[in-house]
């Protein structure tokens, strides 16, 4: 359900700039739409996994199916995003700093489209900090886009990109997947959407989804300080020298809606976490009869997971622990439970630990292994320890059964 907030936020005032993140946090589990002096803002679009499943049929299972069965994307000559084409001017967008300790205003919901002569098209999420009207500084992690940029630099070129803002949740979730480098994530989105097409850009040789707003430009070889930045764990990431994006054009719909994505909120956790739930699901399926997977809110949607299985052998839970870590290498702690436990209910999961888990026989410890760079407690190179909890009941012992009213 969409909640429309009637009063307008005046972004010409300092208090107005602070009001956007305050609203996103206050209504964290509700999709909200409101007006600002710089246009309409949508927040918390993907903040409720039940509504995402009900409205768009999107969950770990459907994402896994799309990953395994990509579909070709149609390219059309025109789209609503081409209603307006102008010189880039980021000052016209309702950007936000989100947290006072951030280094500047950020675009967090922007999905970057790029192309490589060998590997083809790639889409991915990357945070971008505002520099001026037509420049951003990009946090470029060592993923596929980093490889595309590195290869462009080797060719002596800047890397053409398009930044898409205001996309369908299926495209957002597809952009957060990590398939093989030669897999176009837009073909994953195409499997999830019935009427999905791309349009050609104006100043770069790329095709993009028919978004609300598209910023065209290039990742240059100029660097600038990026950060600090409050990331998904609600801890502060440090300042780095990162590549600068030079914008060349701006396309947008009539009266466009700007999707404002606040870091470390439920929407951020779901968009990052759900695609990893699908890869955990894929790996656990190989060793056990799996029901569902959840990366928990308390684990920042990234570091802690719960997996529900139908146990047929005593080795299933330990095998599922190993598989879960293979499916999501950034995972730090994973709990395996039976199918009578609601993995989305922390109290239910804790009950399983309290009544079915014994640390001397059910705890699996992994020492000095690669973890997540997002974990502030990890050592140099993200080296960490990991724990797996077998909170399943012995297969045929009734004293471990959970008793319900009926």
DSSP H helical ranges for 183-290 = 185-192, 266-285
384 within a domain of the structure (yes/no): yes
Q: What is the pLDDT of residue 10?
A: 75
Q: What is the CATH number of the domain that holds 92?
A: 2.30.110.10
Same domain, 250 and 319: no
For 286: left if phi > 0, alpha if psi spans -120 to 50, otherwise beta; the answer is alpha
65 within a domain of the structure (yes/no): no
Q: What is the pLDDT of residue 18?
A: 80
Tell me if 218 sits within 8 A of 160, measured CB to CB: yes
Same domain, 209 and 319: no
47 within a domain of the structure (yes/no): no
185 within a domain of the structure (yes/no): yes
3 within a domain of the structure (yes/no): no
Same domain, 121 and 189: yes
Beta carbons within 10 angstroms of residue 176's beta carbon: 20
Same domain, 380 and 313: yes
292 within a domain of the structure (yes/no): yes
Domain boundary pick from 207, 228, 261:
261
151 phi/psi in degrees, rounded to 5? -70, -35
Same domain, 245 and 343: no
Same domain, 95 and 173: yes
Query: Which domain covers residue 133, as residue numbers?
Result: 70-261
Average pLDDT per run of 10 along the chain, which is 406 residues long? 74 73 92 93 95 95 96 91 97 95 97 98 98 98 95 97 98 96 97 95 97 98 97 95 98 97 96 97 98 97 98 95 98 98 97 96 96 92 96 76 67
Query: What whole-number distance in Å separates Cα of residue 393 and Cα of residue 384?
Result: 29
- Respond yes or no on whether the N-terminal peptide bond of residue 228 is cis (omega within 30° of 0): yes
Q: Spot the catalytic one: 184, 231, 292, 362.
A: 231
**Span between the terminal Cα atoms of the chain, in Å:** 33
Q: Which residues of 81-92 are buried (b: 16+ CB within 10 A; e: fewer)?
A: bbeeeeebebee
Spatial CA neighbour of 144 closest among 188, 107, 186, 177: 177
Predicted TM-score (pTM) of this structure: 0.93
Domain boundary pick from 205, 227, 261:
261
Tell me if 226 sits within 8 A of 242, measured CB to CB: yes
Q: What is the CATH number of the domain that holds 340?
A: 3.40.1670.10
Q: What is the pLDDT of residue 394?
A: 84
Same domain, 239 and 361: no
> Does residue 231 carry a catalytic annotation?
yes
Report the domain count for the chain: 2
Sequence-distant (6+) residues with CB within 8 A of 378 are: 371, 372, 384
């Amino acid at each position: 359900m969409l909640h429309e907030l009637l009063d307008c936020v005046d972004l010409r005032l300092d208090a107005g700039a602070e009001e956007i993140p305050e609203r996103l946090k206050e209504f964290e589990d509700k999709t909200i739409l409101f007006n600002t002096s710089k246009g309409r803002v949508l927040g918390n679009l993907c903040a409720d996994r039940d509504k995402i499943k009900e409205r768009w049929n999107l969950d770990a299972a459907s994402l896994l199916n799309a990953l395994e069965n990509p579909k070709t994307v149609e390219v059309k000559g025109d789209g609503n995003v081409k209603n307006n084409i102008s010189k880039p001017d980021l000052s016209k967008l309702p950007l936000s700093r989100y947290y006072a300790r951030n280094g500047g205003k950020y675009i967090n919901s922007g999905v970057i489209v790029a192309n490589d002569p060998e590997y083809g098209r790639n889409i991915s999420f990357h945070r971008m900090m505002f520099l001026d009207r037509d420049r951003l500084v990009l946090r470029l992690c060592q993923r596929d886009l980093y490889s595309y940029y590195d290869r462009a630099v080797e060719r002596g070129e800047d890397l053409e990109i398009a930044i898409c803002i205001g996309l369908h949740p299926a495209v957002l979730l597809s952009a957060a997947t990590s398939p093989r480098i030669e897999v176009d994530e837009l073909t994953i989105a195409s499997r999830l959407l019935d009427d999905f097409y791309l349009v050609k850009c104006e100043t770069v040789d790329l095709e993009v989804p028919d978004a609300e707003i598209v910023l065209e430009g290039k990742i240059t070889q100029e660097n600038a300080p990026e950060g600090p930045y409050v990331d998904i764990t609600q801890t502060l990431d440090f300042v780095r020298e990162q590549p600068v994006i030079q914008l060349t054009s701006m396309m947008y719909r009539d009266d466009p809606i700007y999707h404002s994505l606040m870091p470390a909120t439920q929407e951020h956790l779901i968009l990052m976490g759900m695609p990893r739930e699908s890869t955990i699901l894929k790996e656990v399926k190989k060793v056990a009869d799996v029901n569902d997977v959840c990366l928990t809110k308390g684990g920042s949607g990234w570091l802690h997971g719960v997996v529900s299985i139908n146990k047929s052998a005593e080795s299933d839970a330990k095998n599922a622990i190993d598989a879960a870590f293979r499916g999501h290498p950034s995972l730090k702690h994973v709990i395996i439970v039976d199918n009578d436990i609601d993995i989305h209910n922390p109290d239910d999961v804790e009950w399983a630990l309290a009544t079915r888990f014994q640390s001397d026989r059910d705890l699996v410890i992994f020492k000095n292994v690669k973890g997540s760079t997002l974990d502030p407690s990890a050592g140099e190179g993200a080296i960490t320890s990991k724990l797996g909890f077998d909170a399943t009941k012995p297969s045929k012992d009734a004293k471990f059964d959970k008793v319900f009213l009926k």
